[in-house]
Amino acid sequence: MDNLSRLLNKRQPKVQNAGGFFVSAVLLPIIETGGEHYVLFEVRAGHLRRQPGEICFPGGKVEQSEFACPQETAIRETVEELGIDRAQVELIGPLDYVISPLGALIYPYVGMIAGHNKMAPNPAEVEEVFLVPVKHFLTNPPFQSSVEVAVRYAQDFPFDRIPPYYRKEWRTLGSFPVYFYEYGNRLIWGATAGILHNFINLCYKKNDY
């Protein structure tokens, strides 16, 4: 028992099957101007292979050396994508992790960006950036839909040795919510909207949605 205590008592747990996910970290950037808080969004460059033209937060893949501190990924990617100095980013704290049944594990953080008028977004990754006042999201709740998730086991699965509940065909497990925020002609949705929704609920008075 002493050996078990030594091994586990002060151990920091991690995601056991993280290797099966695309692990990323993002920063929800807050900019203060005119005494008001704004959320900064990016529009991904149209030539990118993944999610071209979609609205997102700065962020990217967590490198092996950053698994113990994914906030470093969020800051590094923000600096690279927005063309700012690291000193302009003040990390505030983490939001709730996102584990998507579509194969993504996301570590979101909130940070303040100083001197936003000095940004030079990287055109290789960012088509444009835009700001939305936080109060817009407090008075304009999102539309909510859902995505169904199904699984199918591999053909070499030992079906003859497990309960018949596990079958060869596709089986629907359930669904998870997807949020959609509108701002003018822009649509903020998917993981970005989910992280935003978590931020609003954690940091501001809860609305009816």
Angle at 145 between CA 47 and CA 206, to 5 degrees: 105
When pLDDT is averaged across residues 97-112 and rounded to a whole number, the result is 91
209 lies in a domain? no
Distance of alpha carbon 141 from alpha carbon 173, whole angstroms? 28
Q: Does residue 209 have a pLDDT over 50?
A: no
CATH number at residue 139: 3.90.79.10
2 lies in a domain? no
Which residues form the domain of 36? 17-203
Whole-structure pTM value? 0.88
CB 59 within 8 A of CB 51: no
7 lies in a domain? no
As given in the structure block, the two tokens for residue 124 are: 């290789």
Q: Does residue 49 have a pLDDT over 50?
A: yes
208 lies in a domain? no
Q: Does residue 186 have a pLDDT over 80?
A: yes
- Write the pLDDT tens digit of every residue in 114-145: 987 889 999 999 999 999 999 999 999 999 99
As given in the structure block, the two tokens for residue 177 are: 């919510």
Q: Does residue 208 have a pLDDT over 60?
A: no
Q: Which H/E stretch holds residue 192?
A: helix 190-203
Q: Does residue 14 have a pLDDT over 50?
A: yes
Phi, psi of 19 (to 5 degrees): -65, -20
Q: Please tell me the least confidently modeled range out of 31-40, 75-84, 93-102, 199-208.
A: 199-208
4 lies in a domain? no
Distance of alpha carbon 120 from alpha carbon 93, whole angstroms? 25
When pLDDT is averaged across residues 151-157 and rounded to a whole number, the result is 90
As given in the structure block, the two tokens for residue 66 are: 């950053």
Number of domains in the chain: 1
189 lies in a domain? yes
46 lies in a domain? yes
